[in-house]
Structure 1
């Protein structure tokens, strides 16, 4: 739903390699865009796509912010092509590198949700001159973002998921009861925030069963590697935003409190600051107003 404070262009497309990739550009209505553009990186999961950021975009302009917002669908998600391949953070970073060079053509603030921080890391490595700064919403616990899997393991898990049994599992996982239960247990701080808008968006996003390949790639762990050295080399201003009740879906970080979670990142990132806000793991959606309030001062410093 659009508010009177902002507008999004119709879905636009570009070709990266041989694939058709989708994106939208949001801008304030009745105002000239100002400030540094934002590039949003949505999470990966059943039915997830750039629609994850819809509430954030609405609230951003309600608060009189005027930055252009570039909101792409990663390959395998949303309205982008969904080829039958195993995706890695490097693949998505290459897609976004092309997007920045050909569509945006200027430096941006990257806002990455959850474990898609791995894509932001690869993006900074590939195109540091086009990333002015980063906002990390609920990045993975430090023991997880620095966990190196044996190379054979993600391939084995992928092969198990990329099967008729995996197809059956995905069809089960896109049922409303599963989506509600998972969101309540693992993502949201309050059960009542797992609303019909959230569930309907996920169900619609998962209608095309080819969307399972991106999800299976994530579940297989192609994004799991030791990023500690790469993170230490991110010489960009970085804001880490955590929910007061952040939790880890994986066993790594299960017992980690939010203060220690935040401290790990502030110690590792060369130019970082951090803030905690109410919520758990999907702050741009469940705590939208608080998230916008938390990141606005940081982003306005780049204007």
Structure 2
């Protein structure tokens, strides 16, 4: 028994050493391409950490909010932001836990981001703004517009998650998963696997884009870099997402929205029409549009088609 324990202890120490050096190798090479710049943007000193954002153009304000995932960032809007800035003052942020913004070691919840949007509009934009958001980020944009209706004018949500999915509560295994991801060496090692270049390539070719041949290596490398900015601190957001801590039941909030609201779906996204119908059932005046031959990120895959709807 004693020998078994000694063997297990040695194996554990050896595995820890291997993971430690593997982590260091990833951290030393992940940002070498330097695709994410900071010299063209600003930092908003929010109460929970610095928030990176860019501002360009002239006209009515428009806030662009990328999908919430550690590898995401405001680079999601690179193909449309210049055109939008011709008629808007465009603000694009890196959400906390993503890209160049702070990545606090916390459990991320929906209200955390709802407060960020409210504070950002108050402190930075300083006037009511239109919002365009992707994926699960549409949920806290909905909550912010519901709680602070005077701060938001028009809402455009690209491929929002279904209301039923957003109503899912944290999993029974969420605490265990979070405790594993919180471990400095093991959690970081697992995070680097989930956010590896192979995983990001899979996401783009199988989930984000309809036509995988349109995915550029630069876009994938930018997402990889975003996930590794501030080393492995994105693992706390990843654990919160997988544990459903970000979810919030938006049924009441969405049904009560008074702003002009539009939903845009990639036509080839699974269950797009069912999700659209569920939102229109909550708020019948909601406009719905589809972009053919696209999935999750039509603004990267077919930017001209998306711009025609905004």
TM-score range, shorter chain: 0.7 to 0.9
Map of 1:290 onto structure 2: 305
- Answering whether residue 178 of structure 2 is matched by residue 158 of structure 1, we say yes
Q: Which residue of 1 aligns with 2:27?
A: none
Match of 1:205?
226
TM-score (norm 1): 0.82
2:67 to 29, 43, 52: 43
Deviations 1:23-79 (A, max 9, x none): 11021xxxxx22x21111111224211111111203435xxx410111112122222
CA distance in structure 2 between the aligned counterparts of 1:190 and 1:25, rounded to whole angstroms: 31
Matched with 2:162 is 141
Secondary structure of the residue that 2:88 maps to in structure 1?
A: coil
Secondary structure at the aligned position of 1:221 is classed as coil
Q: Which moved more, 1:70-79 or 1:52-61?
A: 52-61
Q: Distance in 1 between matches of 2:195 and 2:273?
A: 34
Distance 2:126 2:173 in 1: 38
Aligned to 1:268: 282
Pairing 1:277–2:291 present: yes
* TM-score for both structures, normalised by structure 2: 0.80
- CA-CA distance at 1:240 after TM superposition: 0.5
Equivalent residue of 1:68, what SS? strand
CA distance in 1 between counterparts of 2:140 and 2:248 reads 12
1:100 to 114, 121, 132: 121
Q: Residue 233 and residue 263 in structure 1: after superposition, are their counterparts in 2 closer, same or farther (change >3 A)?
A: same
Distance 1:101 1:237 in 2: 20
- 2:89 matched residue in structure 1: 68
Question: What's the secondary structure of 1:15's corresponding residue?
Answer: strand
Looking at structure 1, the residues matched to 70 and 54 of structure 2 have their Cα atoms a distance apart, in angstroms, of 21
Q: CA deviation at 1:286?
A: 1.5
Decide whether the 8 Å contact of 2:69 with 2:98 is kept in 1.
no
Q: Secondary structure at the match of 2:80?
A: helix
CA contact (8 A) 2:62 2:89 kept: yes
2-side partners of 1:291 and 1:186: how far apart? 18
The answer to whether the Cα contact below 8 Å between 1:46 and 1:173 also exists between their aligned partners in 2 is no
CA separation of 1:191 and 1:18: change in aligned 2, threshold 3 A: closer
State the distance in 1 between where 2:43 and 2:90 align.
Answer: 16
Which structure has the greater CA radius of gyration? 2
CA–CA distance in structure 2, aligned partners of residues 193 and 128 of structure 1 = 38
Provide structure 1 residue ranges, at least 5 long, that are not aligned to the other structure: 1-7, 28-32, 248-255, 296-303
1:15 equivalent in alignment to 2:30: no
Q: Which moved more, 1:262-271 or 1:126-135?
A: 262-271
| Counterpart contact for 1:9–1:25, Cα < 8 Å | no
Unaligned 5+ segments in structure 2 are: 1-37
